[in-house]
């Protein structure tokens, strides 16, 4: 059996900050390895540190201590230019709020990261069509966000995140603004992307009905990260 190196590794990761003279410790000595083709769900009560965890993974926030290795490179020691390049090429981020530009069509919203990266026209067109195809939205590609449903807008934001072909997708409460039917559809899409495209997805969610689709479920509690067993009925 060939040894597989982790795509993402957290080593003794901690994050603390002071709020109104009180020290808050959302992350305490977290160790985690994520491998290619995994779909990991992260759960925890509101304010438990799910967003903080994803933000430090993406290099959007600095940990207080510990290391974050992305494909073997320690991003905690990188300057902002290097972090921007990592986020542009290696890590895709999906937010709860869709963050689409209202004057651009679905196609143009998805294409934008490629334009920023200087990808030439034919390649941009091909990859944008491919990304929209993965999320099932090519027939709606000329519509602006206000002409799309909430579920369709979230699919556009997912296509935008995957169009640069990042190694890792981080999704922060991606179904938080969707009804239960669209939420299940989005998590089903994530599962398909992992199985069919070999993507690696880490999604924070509060929706326990979606967790059966993930390969593993982790819970943040009191700053630590725990494995949730399939027999734990709180999350199944």
Residue 235 scores a pLDDT above 70? no
Instruction: Say what the pTM is.
Output: 0.87
Q: Tell me, yes or no, whether 41 and 75 share the same domain.
A: yes
Distance CA(57)–CA(201), nearest Å, equals: 12
Q: Tell me, yes or no, whether 121 and 183 share the same domain.
A: no
Q: What is the largest CA-CA distance in the chain?
A: 55
Give the per-residue pLDDT at 89.
86
Q: Tell me, yes or no, whether 2 and 85 share the same domain.
A: yes
Proportion of the chain above pLDDT 70, given as a percent: 95
Give the per-residue pLDDT at 209.
78
Q: Tell me, yes or no, whether 113 and 82 share the same domain.
A: no
Q: Tell me, yes or no, whether 137 and 179 share the same domain.
A: no
Residue 208 scores a pLDDT above 90? no
Q: Which of the four pLDDT bands, split at 50, 70 and 90, describes residue 45? A: confident
Distance CA(222)–CA(108), nearest Å, equals: 42
Q: What is the Cβ-side half-sphere exposure of residue 51, based on CA atoms within 13 angstroms?
A: 10
Q: Tell me, yes or no, whether 11 and 105 share the same domain.
A: no
Mean of pLDDT values over 18-40:
89
Domain boundary among 150, 165, 180: 165
Q: Tell me, yes or no, whether 137 and 55 share the same domain.
A: no
Give the per-residue pLDDT at 3.
57
Q: Tell me, yes or no, whether 55 and 67 share the same domain.
A: yes
Give the per-residue pLDDT at 23.
81
Q: Tell me, yes or no, whether 158 and 174 share the same domain.
A: no
For residues 137 and 107, the answer to whether their CB atoms sit within 8 Å is no
Domain boundary among 165, 188, 219: 165
Asked whether residue 3 is domain-assigned, the answer is: yes
Residue 65 scores a pLDDT above 90? yes
Q: Which of the four pLDDT bands, split at 50, 70 and 90, describes residue 234? A: low
Question: What's the structural domain count of the chain?
Answer: 2
Give the per-residue pLDDT at 186.
87
Asked whether residue 135 is domain-assigned, the answer is: yes
For residues 28 and 222, the answer to whether their CB atoms sit within 8 Å is yes
Helices (H) and strands (E) in the chain, counts: 6, 10
Q: Tell me, yes or no, whether 161 and 171 share the same domain.
A: no
Residue 232 scores a pLDDT above 50? yes
Q: CA nearest 135: which of 174, 179, 89, 173?
A: 174
Q: Tell me, yes or no, whether 183 and 159 share the same domain.
A: no
Mean of pLDDT values over 176-194:
87
Asked whether residue 95 is domain-assigned, the answer is: no
Query: pLDDT tens digit string along 73-130?
Result: 999 999 999 998 888 889 998 887 888 999 999 999 999 999 988 999 999 999 999 9
For tokens 């869709």, the residue is 98
Residue 183 scores a pLDDT above 90? no
**How many CB atoms lie under 10 A from the CB of residue 13?**
23
Asked whether residue 96 is domain-assigned, the answer is: no
Domain boundary among 134, 150, 165: 165
Q: Which of the four pLDDT bands, split at 50, 70 and 90, describes residue 1? A: very low
Asked whether residue 68 is domain-assigned, the answer is: yes
Give the per-residue pLDDT at 95.
82
Query: The domain that contains 19 carries what CATH number?
Result: 3.40.50.300
Round the average pLDDT of the chain to a whole number and report it.
Answer: 89
Q: Tell me, yes or no, whether 62 and 176 share the same domain.
A: yes
Give the per-residue pLDDT at 2.
44
| Residue 65 lies in domain | 1-90+166-236
Coil, strand or helix at 60: coil
């Amino acid at each position: 059996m060939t040894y597989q190196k982790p795509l993402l590794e957290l080593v003794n990761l901690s994050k603390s900050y002071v709020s109104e003279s009180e020290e808050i410790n959302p992350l305490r000595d977290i160790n985690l390895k994520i491998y290619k083709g995994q779909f990991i769900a992260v759960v925890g009560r509101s304010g438990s540190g799910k967003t903080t965890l994803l933000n430090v993974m993406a290099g959007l926030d600095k940990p207080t201590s510990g290391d974050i290795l992305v494909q073997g490179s320690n991003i905690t020691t990188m300057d902002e230019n290097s972090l921007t390049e990592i986020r542009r090429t290696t890590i895709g981020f999906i937010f709860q709020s869709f963050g689409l530009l209202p004057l651009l069509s679905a196609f143009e919203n998805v294409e934008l990261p490629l334009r920023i990266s200087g990808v030439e026209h034919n390649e941009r067109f091909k990859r944008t069509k491919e990304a929209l195809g993965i999320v099932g939205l090519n027939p709606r590609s000329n519509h602006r966000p206000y002409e799309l449903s909430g579920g369709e807008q979230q699919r556009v934001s997912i296509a935008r995140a995957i169009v640069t072909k990042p190694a890792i997708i981080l999704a922060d409460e991606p179904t938080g603004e969707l009804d239960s039917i669209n939420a299940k559809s989005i998590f089903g899409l994530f599962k398909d992307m992992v199985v069919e495209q070999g993507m690696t997805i880490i999604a924070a969610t509060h929706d326990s009905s979606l967790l059966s689709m993930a390969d593993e479920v982790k819970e943040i509690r009191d700053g630590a990260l725990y494995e949730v067993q399939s027999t734990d009925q709180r999350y199944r």
